Structure formats: C-alpha cells, structure tokens
Amino acid sequence: MNVNDNNNTIIELKNVRKSFGSLVVLDDVNLKIYRGQTTVIIGESGTGKSVLLKHIVGLIRPDAGSVFFEGENIAKLSERALMTVRTKFGFLFQGGALFDSMSAIDNVAFPLREHTDMDDDIILKVAIDKLRLVGLEHVAKQMPASLSGGQKKRVALARAIALNPQVILYDEPTTGLDPIRSDVINELILKLKRQLEVTSIVVTHDMKSAYKVADRILMLYKGKFIFDGTVEQIKNSTDERIQQFITGQAGQEELKLLKI
C-alpha cells in the first residue's frame, strides 16, 4: 500500500490563511500529514513554522480555511471540545518551558493529574516510565533549575508523551543544544516513532537533525510550501532558495541589507 494513501492522512490543512495585522504569515497553505511518518518542516526564522504548529492543535485559529484532525475540522470546535482533541497531541514547545516550581517527575505527572482520574501512585509510576523512556529516571526528584538544557528538553518531551499521544509536535527540539545533545534528541525522536508508533511533525532549522529524522521534508517560504519530498530529493534540489537554506548561505537580499 502507498503510505501516502488518503486513508493514512491524519492531519490536513486546507487553504489555511493567517495574518497578523498586515503581515501575511500563512498564505493559502495546503498540507497533509500521514500517519506514522515523521514530517519535518524547515524554513527561515519568522516564516510561520510555529504559527503552523499552533494551528494544528487549535492554539491559533485560521482566518480562513480548515484544519482537519482525523476528518474533523478543529478550526470550528469550541475551546472545550478542543481540550479533548489536544490530549491526543504531545507538544514540545519551542523553549520547552518546564514548571520551575515542580520537580521533573511532577512536571511529567502534571498532564496526568489534569486530564485523568488515575490514583496518584499509578500516575507517578506512569511518569517514571516516561522519564525512563527519555533516559532520565535518575533526575526524577530534581528541580528544573538543576538540570542542563538538554535534560530539560528531555523532561519536557517525557511530559509531552505522558498521555500517550497519537501525534508529537516538536518545535525546534535541538535549538541551543551542542551537537551531541542534539543527536540524543534525534535518536529519541526516532525511538519514540518506533516504540510508540506515533506520527511526528518536527519543525527545525537544524539540517543535520532534519536529515536524520525525516521521512519527508517540507520547506515553508513566504507563506507557502515550496518543497515537499524526501531527504535525497531536497539535497538534489536546484531551487536557489532551497539550496541557500539547506547549505546555510545568506542570500543576495540579506547581503544587500548588510551592505556587504
């Protein structure tokens, strides 16, 4: 079976438009996300990658167009109905903020305490399981202030998967980490895909990470997707805008602005 078959579409954005004042961020965006795949979205800073992810969980509503999750248009749901939909998503936010006043395990237990009526001893067992999955069982009792940047991201990831989501959204999961810590995160993204059979969407401008985790890569540019294909295909793309981005070179526009 073709993995890109319609039955395998879990999320679909249709003709989505979003502006903030006069700034058009998403300009008639169409996107299908396929079940079980890891889709990577790349694009310059400020192009709307985070805004796009927030549409998928209904944190931002489109000005026009639809956002389907398993066939249901979530752009039209009430806040209350959205809460239920959101429990099916794990969101690793850009910056991955933990609650500073709670230990690592209490951070992971938080969504379980909020959204389930399980006994607290069971909740703590689930939370430890999730910390074990990200290799951080031993920091369970520590406060966020005593964790490294990489450890904080992994605790945030354990929290994002606490409710066994069907979809994990990663917003810049490796930003600010050294190459080794970044690779630990990449390996975790691959492991969670394998073990939990989740659908993943990874927003990044770290091309090393993109190449390692992607089944499919899309590039957002000035409000539209200008590329949709495999790692091999993007590496071989002859589009100048894509080559500049993936090889990390400033374009003529930027150089002109800098008077270089």
Residues that bind Mg ion (CB under 5 A): 50, 94
C-beta separation of 216 from 228 below 8 A = yes
Closer to ligand ATP by Cβ: residue 21 or 71: 21
Taking the complex as a whole, the smallest distance from the CB of residue 257 to ligand ATP amounts, in Å, to 16
C-beta separation of 137 from 156 below 8 A = no
Closer to ligand ATP by Cβ: residue 52 or 213: 52
C-beta separation of 34 from 4 below 8 A = yes
Judged by DSSP in three states, 202 sits in strand
Partner from Mg ion, ligand ATP, none contacting 209, C-beta within 5 to 8 A by type = none
Partner from Mg ion, ligand ATP, none contacting 45, C-beta within 5 to 8 A by type = ligand ATP
Q: Where does this chain bind ligand ATP (CB under 6 A)? A: 20, 23, 25, 43, 45-51, 94
Task: Name which of 204, 77, 214, 104 is nearest 162 in CA terms.
Answer: 104
φ, ψ for residue 199, nearest 5 deg = -90, 135
Task: Name which of 248, 149, 177 is nearest 207 in CA terms.
Answer: 248
Closer to ligand ATP by Cβ: residue 54 or 130: 54
Partner from Mg ion, ligand ATP, none contacting 46, C-beta within 5 to 8 A by type = ligand ATP
Q: Which residues contact 172 (CB under 8 A, 6 or more apart)?
A: 94, 203, 204, 205, 206
Taking the complex as a whole, the smallest distance from the CB of residue 45 to ligand ATP amounts, in Å, to 3
**CA–CA separation, 63 and 90 (whole Å):** 25
Partner from ligand ATP, Mg ion, none contacting 20, C-beta within 5 to 8 A by type = ligand ATP
Closer to Mg ion by Cβ: residue 29 or 127: 29
Taking the complex as a whole, the smallest distance from the CB of residue 40 to ligand ATP amounts, in Å, to 13
Closer to ligand ATP by Cβ: residue 106 or 206: 206
The neighbour count for residue 126, using CB atoms within 10 Å, is 17
Taking the complex as a whole, the smallest distance from the CB of residue 93 to ligand ATP amounts, in Å, to 11
Closer to ligand ATP by Cβ: residue 94 or 243: 94
Taking the complex as a whole, the smallest distance from the CB of residue 203 to Mg ion amounts, in Å, to 6
φ, ψ for residue 155, nearest 5 deg = -65, -40
Polymer length in residues for the chain:
260
